[in-house]
Amino acid sequence: MSILLYFTIVPLGTAFLVTLLRKKKGISDLLAVLSSLYLFGLSLATAGLTKSHGVMIYKVGGWFPTIGITLVVDGLSAFLLVAINLVAFLVLIYAISYMERYTDKWKFHALFMFMLAGLNGVIISGDLFNLYVFLEIASISAYALVAFGVKPQNLEAAFKYTIMGAVASIFILLGIALLYSYTSTLNMADVAYCLSDKAKNPLLVFIWVLFLAGFGLKAALVPFHAWLPDAHSSAPSPVSAMLSGVVIKTIGIYALMRIFFNVLGVSINLLSVLMASGILSMVVGAFLAIAQNDIKRMLAYSSISQVGYIIFALGVGTPLAILGGLFHLFNHAVFKSLLFLDAGAIEYSTGERNMDKLGGLNNKLPVTGYTSLMAAMSISGIPPLAGFWSKLIIIVAAVEAGYIGYAIVAVLISIVTLVYYLKFQSFVFFGKLDAVYNKIQEVPLAMKTALVILAVICVMGGLMLTGTFRPFLEGASNVILSGTGYKQAVLGAIR
Amino acid sequence: MSLYFLCFILFCVGLYSVLRKRNIIKIIIGLGIMEYAVNLFLILVGYRMHGRAPIFAKDQEILNMVDPLPQAMVLTTIVIGLAVTIIAVSLAIRIYEKYGTFDITKIRSLKG
Amino acid sequence: MSLIVKTITRFTVGLVLVYGIFITLQGHVSPGGGFAGGIIITLAFIQLMLAFGQDEVLRKLNQEKGLLLAGIGAILFLVIASRIFLKPQQHSFVAEKHFQLLSAGFLSLSEIAIALMVAAGLFVIFLTLVLLIEEEEKEKK
Amino acid sequence: MIFAAIMAVEIKDLISSVIALSAAGLGLCLAFLILKAPNLAITQLVVEILCVIVLIRGTINKDLPLVKDGRWLFNTIATLFSLAVLLLFSYLALKELPNFGAPLMRVSQEYISTGLEKTGSPNLVTAVALNFRGYDALAEAAIIFTAIIGTLAIARKIGKKDEE
């Protein structure tokens, strides 16, 4: 299965090629879109393959697993690969026309390709240190992308993000160093193998805390969420769509899931810690989001509360809850990036981001209006759309697992989400049209196609539960449920 | 055991500088110190009591060698530390150019 | 820079450059690998630039050419690396020619590619940071 | 080294704190030599020189207004307290680690024994870094390249066209 390697080599190759061929005008867009289309196709193929024969292993360089690095793709990583490459492909189509406003487009495409390579690398790597290096590639390109529009606000937000991100990476590195000294192997399955026979001792608790702090900061859980609103509101909107839709999920939640559930093994108090931080970020994110009048900042805060949902679902830990969490993860990636792209479209045509000043754009910007209506409805959980199903599953699972109080809080929060999305819809799209905006015209074709496709997936997401997609989602959730069973699967596949 | 602990003290010095200092350059220096501390810890972990450098000499056979794996890891982490520092310094220069000062309390234009 | 510095650099730059290349090629025999060698070569360029002032060096290797060189080095390394990863093969080496220069087959090739990329790339970073200040000073005056 | 690090943090003037940082870096380089890692000593020394050049570049003629406002004392105590808690936990955890001189070498034993035959390079560290774990070296090259493109992107004059 050497196709796994193409997930990182193709984006890196495109990034290098884009730097070389930077003189020609349209070449960087073409290369970027082509390679992300190829990656999307590849991720669909791998999803199909993992469904047929479970865990897929690739020994890089032909070395036996514990010596060399192995790439591991199972249900969970295939599921995430599809989500990431789908959103990245659509964001790139959107960026063709949006990035006309920025100078040096080839730099944007090169950095974007590096971020994509980093994300794919994190997902398919089966080796702790390798995961850290690819996580670092994705973060460094994210720092530079946030500072892409070189204005004072962007620079300050990017600096805040860089410092917090660098501290988080150093914590993760310290955790890996401690794990290496304890088990002296880096292959995740091998580490799980060594840890399974050793009793719980203060060192493992200390490593848990380090990893929780590091990945929590990358996933913007509540105590560490300070950088997210600034970074997402000042980044160019294709970047902030990628950031909140995909990057916090892969670097934060996926790595957290992989390490906690599969390598270190999960204990009751860890689950309760996850649940507590999930609830906390849900509540804080929602209430802060109401107070905002800048569209992107409000969306950033609502990302924090939606991430809280997913962490809460993982904290509950029952099979149904994890299924709901993963489904919500996919949904949130789709409609949050759609909302950010809509905000970018509004800003592109009117140049204004403050909700109070806008009004009645619906007749002037029909496509953006309807797509953001669908996304807003789906995120706040209106029955027919995808968001409703995932939140329903999480709440039902919480009730089943006996956390009635938390379930009520979750329901309240989803109502609060509905409130501030209705406020966003009504302020921006309905109401009277300001005189100054009557001459704006619809966003160019490239942006419109991306918005429409995302909206269709948003509506169609509901099918994920029934029909063909169900086993696909099941595959992902029982990888987590198997917990440290991960090592038998991987070691079995190697021999 | 005590050497590991000294290494952690160095890590806390760096962390203190990142959390407490108000000048951007001091924060970047703090990051550098934390980077040094973790690299030192990694090498301390891989040291064998009176081992030899992991390089085969032409003639004699070297028995107890130091663990080469952490050294390969630290080779990468040093370069990662360099890359993060370069990005942070270029951001600091641009911020100094736009804001005219390094003091983060004055650069509070964004509502947190 | 003063004359003394110029004459000193005239001698040492060659030495530093050769030392950098030596470290890169000897990467797999004696300590020090592709990264260290590449950076030493960059230091030689920077030293040249500090001593002889900016314009002369820029004639030889300005930002555009540097970036191009870095890109080529990177592509070269990518090709070598992916060729090895895709065709996993264990080749055992004949014992006695272990300590000669190019005894590890592709290993020294990838070392050279890394060194080329690191040298050109980091010099481009130095140029961007320095040029940034010139424009800033001009604005201030 | 710890003393140099504390000096780097506490000194008021910017340039001397950068120099103190380089002193800490050189201390690290010496430590690598003592701990039998010559490969790293060279890399650390050279990278550290570049680090200092870049840092000095950033601080040539910049001021350092160090003003102490009201809640200064409370903040320091709070951070010091949290650091003390971190140290306490790390002390507890470090007791569990295998003792200093004897690293348990599960994987690297094979590197040492088969390193010379498999890769043909006597310098095991490069063998491990490039051949056994070559995928990391590829990621490493990507990291350097992102730093280069990142600096270029940050350092350009006009970012967003229409506003300027």
- Report the 3 state secondary structure along A172-209: HHHHHHHHHHHHCCCEHHHHHHHHHHCCCCHHHHHHHH
Do the domain assignments include residue D82? no
What crossing angle do the helices spanning A295-316 and A319-350 adopt, rounded to 10°?
Answer: 170
Residue C128's closest chain B neighbor by CA? B90
| pLDDT value for D81 | 78
pLDDT at C139 over 50: yes
Local structure of residue A215 (DSSP, 8 states): H
**Nearest CA-CA distance, residue A160 and chain B, Å:** 10
| pLDDT value for B112 | 42
| pLDDT value for C92 | 45
**To probe the interface with A, which of D146, D158, D160 has the most A CB atoms within 10 Å?**
D146
Are D122 and B90 in contact (CB < 8 Å)? no
Amino acid at A101: R
More confident residue, C94 or B109: B109
Establish if B6 touches chain C: CB-CB under 8 angstroms.
no
Amino acid at A284: V
| pLDDT value for D163 | 46
Do the domain assignments include residue D52? yes
pLDDT at C78 over 70: yes
Q: Which of B38, B109, B110 sits opposite A170 (nearest CB)?
A: B38
Section D30-54 average pLDDT: 82
Q: Which of C35, C129, C136 sits opposite B75 (nearest CB)?
A: C35
Are A136 and D136 in contact (CB < 8 Å)? no
Question: Hey, which chains touch A, using 3+ CB pairs under 8 Å?
Answer: B, C, D
Q: Which has the closest alpha carbon to D41: B75, A126, A351, C103? A: B75
| pLDDT value for A257 | 81
Among A229-233, A323-327, B102-106, the minimum mean pLDDT is found in: B102-106
Is 0.95 exceeded by the ipTM? no
| pLDDT value for B111 | 45
Q: State the average pLDDT for chain A.
A: 78
Section C101-108 average pLDDT: 59
pLDDT at A492 over 80: no
| pLDDT value for D72 | 61
Are B53 and C129 in contact (CB < 8 Å)? no
Residues of D in contact with A68 (CB under 8 A): 132-133
| pLDDT value for D104 | 63
pLDDT at D132 over 70: yes
Torsions phi, psi for A233 (to 5 deg) = -85, -25
Residue A98 confidence class, pLDDT cut points 50, 70, 90: confident
pLDDT at D164 over 50: no
Q: State the average pLDDT for chain C.
A: 71
**To probe the interface with C, which of A1, A5, A7, A16 has the most C CB atoms within 10 Å?**
A16
Six token digits for residue D9: 């943090």
Local structure of residue A243 (DSSP, 8 states): I
Do the domain assignments include residue D17? yes
pLDDT at C95 over 50: no
Compute the Cα dihedral for A13, A69, A479, A219 and give only its sign.
Answer: negative
What DSSP assignment string belongs to chain C?
Answer: --HHHHHHHHHHHHHHHHHHHHHHHGGGTSS--HHHHHHHHHHHHHHHHHHH-HHHHHHHS-HHHHHHHHHHHHHHHHHHHHHHHHS-------SGGGSSTTTTTHHHHHHHHHHHHHHHHHHHHHHHHHHHHHHHHHHH-
Using an 8 Å CB-CB cutoff, list residues of chain C that contact chain B.
30-31, 33, 35, 98-99, 125, 128-129, 132-133, 136
pLDDT at A32 over 60: yes
Q: Which of A158, A177, A229 sits opposite B42 (nearest CB)?
A: A177
Q: Which of D107, D124, D154 sits opposite B94 (nearest CB)?
A: D154
Do the domain assignments include residue D143? yes
Q: Tell me: the pLDDT tens digits for C11-59?
A: 777 888 888 888 877 766 667 677 888 888 888 888 777 777 666 666 6
Question: Hey, which chains touch C, using 3+ CB pairs under 8 Å?
Answer: A, B, D
Establish if D61 touches chain B: CB-CB under 8 angstroms.
no
Q: Which residues contact A197 (CB under 8 A, 6 or more apart)?
A: none
Range of the domain at D129: 106-156
Residues of C in contact with B58 (CB under 8 A): 98-99
Section D126-136 average pLDDT: 74
Are A166 and B11 in contact (CB < 8 Å)? no
Q: CA torsion angle for A463, A468, A473, A478 (degrees, to 10)?
A: 140
Are D51 and B40 in contact (CB < 8 Å)? no
pLDDT at B98 over 50: yes
pLDDT at C97 over 50: no
pLDDT at A92 over 50: yes
Q: Which has the closest alpha carbon to A386: A344, A329, A343? A: A329
| pLDDT value for C60 | 64
pLDDT at A435 over 70: no
Q: Which has the closest alpha carbon to A22: A87, A155, A113, A121? A: A113
| pLDDT value for D82 | 79
Give residue for tokens 């004072």.
A152
Distance in angstroms between the alpha carbons of the first and the last residue of chain D:
47
Among A295-304, C69-78, C82-91, the minimum mean pLDDT is found in: C82-91
Torsions phi, psi for D123 (to 5 deg) = -80, 95
pLDDT at B77 over 70: yes
Among A1-15, A175-189, A203-217, A426-440, the minimum mean pLDDT is found in: A426-440
Q: Which of C30, C46, C121 sits opposite D53 (nearest CB)?
A: C46
The C-alpha atoms of residue C71 and residue C62 are separated, in whole angstroms, by 14
C-alpha D152: how far from chain center: 23
Exposed / middle / buried, residue B110 (Cβ in 10 Å: 0-12, 13-18, 19+): middle
More confident residue, D96 or D87: D87
Domain boundaries, chain C: 3-140
| pLDDT value for C96 | 42
pLDDT at C141 over 60: no
- Specify whether the CB–CB gap between A228 and A287 falls below 8 A: no
Residue A277 confidence class, pLDDT cut points 50, 70, 90: confident
Residue A88 confidence class, pLDDT cut points 50, 70, 90: confident
- Specify whether the CB–CB gap between A484 and A265 falls below 8 A: yes
Q: Which of D35, D55, D87 sits opposite B44 (nearest CB)?
A: D35
pLDDT at A312 over 70: yes
The C-alpha atoms of residue C77 and residue C114 are separated, in whole angstroms, by 7
Q: State the average pLDDT for chain D.
A: 74
Do the domain assignments include residue D86? no
Do the domain assignments include residue D70? no
Exposure of A264 in the CB half-sphere (CA atoms within 13 A): 30
The C-alpha atoms of residue A171 and residue D38 are separated, in whole angstroms, by 26
The C-alpha atoms of residue B41 and residue B46 are separated, in whole angstroms, by 9
Domains, chain B, ranges and CATH? Answer: 2-49+66-109 (1.10.287.3510)
C-alpha A410: how far from chain center: 21
Six token digits for residue B107: 């650069």
